[in-house]
A and B are shown apart, each in its own frame.
Chain A
Amino acid sequence: MTPIRSNPRRSPAAIACIAALVAGALAAPVAAQTLRVGVATHPPTLDPQKETGNDAAQFLYNIFDTLIERVPDATPLQFRPGLATSWSRVSPTVWELKLREGVKMHDGSTLTAEDVQFSLDRVFKKADPRFASAQGRFFYNFSHVEVTGPLTVRIHTRVPEPLFEVLISARNAGITSRSHVERLGLDKAMLAPVGTGPYKVTRLTPNRETVLERHDAFWGEKAPLATIRYQRIPEVSARVTALANNEVDFIVSVPPDQERLIPTQRFTVKGVVWPMFHVMVVKMTDGPTRDARIRQAMSLSVDREKLTTALWSGKGKAATAHQFPEYGAPLYIEGLRTIAHDPKRAAQLVKEAGYDGTPIKISYEPGYYLYFDLAAQAIQQMWQAIGLKVQIEQTERYDEKQTFVRPWSNPMYYPDPMGAFDTHWSKASWTSTRGYFKPQHPQWDALYQQARFSLDAQVRKDAYRKLIEIGEQEGGWILLYQPHEAFAMRSDIRWNIPTALRPYSLNFRAGQISVGSRP
């Protein structure tokens, strides 16, 4: 590096020039910035239809556009044009969308209706088994895309879809380039993703590092950052150190017990209670938990407030019902409480059930869910206090026949009751197919259909309320708490957690992040 030498003959003009340059640099638009992000996890590819995990959510929003976009922080959801400039339902199961003209993709091609058809059909029709996750979670009711003009498409669903805009604005409906994928083949294209978003991928090292650069031909407002470098730093202490040591500007996934290590003079910490429950799945069809009264007792005896205070430093949120305020009106049910803490009633239920003393085993994979090892020990005590025998087992692989209680999480994939419910407790979910979850209530299926597919929001809301009330009585799940995590960043970065997007999304588009002078 060439050292900067001071000029002994400082003329007023030179000083003025330097002052102007310095002032200019300070006031420079953030366009010249590079953001270095330390992430805990990194996906193997960045294919919008394949990657459905939290790891990919940190990237996809910046690279891929969807036909319809969500206003990132609006509650309830608000939609705005994305790659489609307008859309309307033309028949109960058909939506017509007009596409934006002249959209340049990252490979230099111009977006066509065929690109839209190719991108969506491959997940609607599960063209590759690796798209099964997105198809099963979001698009199982979508049939196909019909091209009706150079810039017009029609999307067909199997039955009328009340969540059309919600689902088609999910990043797994991101649009990619047909010619690019066909030219490279799917395997190679997944490692060299092409979208239409404000940033393009210039380097992707699976599971390790990704570099995005501004896509200058982006159709909307230009990206505020010139470069984003995501680096995977798996250890939380290493992420915190890298931030404190000025090696990265922004880190994710800081648990409550590590937050105090962030030097707050130089950095901002933004905490979030995720719209996600840590859950215990209880087997309903076999073993000591087969009796609904035992399952109800297990849930009633868990002191969720105590767990939340002790484990999450009071920053998490004890579960009260299977819903999140992020749904907004009209679907969020204010004041609803379906979960209670009543150890006396729990002990009574255990007696009524004639519990024979068969041990109930809590099986879990160490380290997979933060603090679950501690939660399991506390819950073991709570259950033993009502007369149950409880064992704890650590495992790397669940033996389905011998597993009766295991941890899980229920994230809200999209801000709607179905975003955390249909994606976890439907008949297609592993909880149903592997014999854990089998509600017996005669109204269950009818209510489920209404909550999922009714086009009347009030009918959906009422059905959902009944569904989660019945669900608590069925006892197939024990909702524990919503975890708390923090993001930490340089104090001159202004960024907000996008509540309308999928949890863990990092939104670095125009108007969503700014880097500059300190506040």
Chain B
Amino acid sequence: MSRAILLRTLRLVLTVLVVLALAFVFLRLTGTPVERMFPEGIDQETEQQLTALWGLDRPWLVQFLDYAGKTLRGDFGHSLLSGQDVVGMYREVLAPTLWLGGLALALSIAVGMPVGIYSALRRGRSVDRVVNSLVFLAYALPGFVVALLLTYVFGYQLNWLPTIGADTAWHYVLPVGVLALGTAASLARYTRGAMLDELGQEYIRTALSKGLHRTDAITRHGLRNAMIPVVTVIGMELQAIVNGSFIIETLFAWPGVGRIFIGAVKDSDYPVFQFGVLFYAAVIVLINYLIDLCYLLLDPRVRVDA
């Protein structure tokens, strides 16, 4: 098992490095910070001075090796546009970002899984059909549409909830709700499907026939087995939350990592973008890593294979 963990860890590091190298090249292909800083153009002499100031006049390979070396020493550089320390920029907004994503995930699990289980246990009944329709609607609605709708109702019309920033606990209600909605719907669908699969298995019938209470049979046997595909989905949905937070942060003027990252892409602010890529790649890879570890814990067959 320790070999499996080691292999997965090595794969994690390699993936992050490859993503960083690709991002390093692609952003440079789309434009330079000088073009972004002076959209109306600038004389050649100034352009040369600026690219020299930022060290961008060197070959890309030299720039990458320099960046990789500094990264290994924990030096991620400064924003080309504002001069801020890159790590400090992200650190400042890490807490609201993590809270936003964490709460959205927790809420979606807390709502989505029970709804899925409930729906599976009442398969074919009218309540199942109603729940399924609502879940499908929530799943199909794009996050930004829900965001605009909820903002309009609870902010613009009713003046009940704040719609910009992250100053108080109330500021979390709408963005967390919007982010959680699609994920909760997705989880409900997958949980329902997985539960139905398990409830039809012979071991459930065996458990019931040996006198086990239905609740015990479902929770101790069916639910645990149904969790394996659901954990996979949770991992995927966490990635969806990370991606969705980019839009949500813009719509709710949320002081988060996503806004900094998108701004860096728009401005070709290389150091800020590169750290953002590292950060997101690390988060996504880490999520998958944790899911793999969860498999090891949940499914004895994976342990045997490993």
Contacts and interface: CB of A to CB of B under 8 A. Distances in A.
Interface of A: 38, 44-45, 126, 129-130, 132-133, 136, 186-188, 190-191, 205-209, 231-235, 237-238, 240-242, 244-248, 261, 396-397, 408, 428-430, 433-434
B34 to A, nearest CB: 9
Contact of B159 (A129, A187, A245): A245
Contacts of A397: 30-31, 35
30 contacts: A44-B79, A129-B53, A186-B83, A205-B92, A205-B255, A206-B79, A206-B84, A209-B255, A231-B165, A231-B253, A232-B253, A233-B253, A234-B250, A235-B250, A235-B253, A237-B151, A238-B164, A240-B156, A241-B151, A241-B152, A242-B253, A244-B156, A244-B159, A247-B162, A247-B165, A248-B164, A261-B156, A396-B30, A429-B40, A430-B40
A246 B159 contact: yes
Contact of B43 (A206, A207, A428): A428
A238 B253 contact: yes
B50 interface: yes
Given A238-B163, A241-B151, A44 B81 contact: yes
Interface string B15-42: 0000000000000001100010110111
B158 to A, nearest CB: 9
8 closest A-B pairs (Cβ-Cβ)? A430-B41, A187-B83, A44-B82, A129-B49, A206-B82, A132-B46, A44-B81, A245-B155
Contact of B50 (A130, A186, A207): A130
Contacts of A429: 40-41
B268 to A, nearest CB: 10
B251 interface: yes
Nearest to B144: A235
Contacts of A130: 37, 50
Given A129-B46, A207-B260, A235-B251, 14 more contacts: A44-B81, A44-B267, A126-B46, A132-B42, A205-B92, A206-B89, A207-B263, A231-B165, A238-B252, A241-B156, A241-B164, A242-B163, A244-B156, A247-B155
Nearest to A130: B50
A186 B53 CA distance: 13
Contacts of A191: 82-84
B8 interface: no
A191 B81 CA distance: 11
A434 B162 CA distance: 48
Given A206-B82, A430-B41, A245 B156 contact: yes
Contacts of B221: none
Contacts of B250: 234-235
B79 A133 contact: no
B148 interface: yes
Contacts of A188: 83
B266 to A, nearest CB: 10
A139 B30 CA distance: 32
Contact of A234 (B82, B151, B165, B253): B253
Contact of A132 (B30, B43, B252, B255): B43
B245 to A, nearest CB: 15
B82 A136 contact: no
Given A38-B164, A241-B156, A242-B164, A187 B43 contact: no
Contact of A247 (B42, B92, B164): B164
A433 B43 contact: yes
Contacts of A245: 155-156, 159, 162-163
A433 B42 CA distance: 9
A238 B46 contact: no
Contacts of A240: 156
A205 B165 CA distance: 13
A244 B155 contact: yes
A487 B260 CA distance: 27
Nearest to A137: B40
Contacts of A433: 41, 43
Contacts of A187: 78, 83
B28 to A, nearest CB: 12
Contacts of A205: 92, 255
Nearest to A188: B83
B163 A241 contact: yes
Contacts of A248: 164
A129 B82 contact: no
Nearest to B267: A44
Interface string B44-57: 00100110010000
A44 B37 CA distance: 10
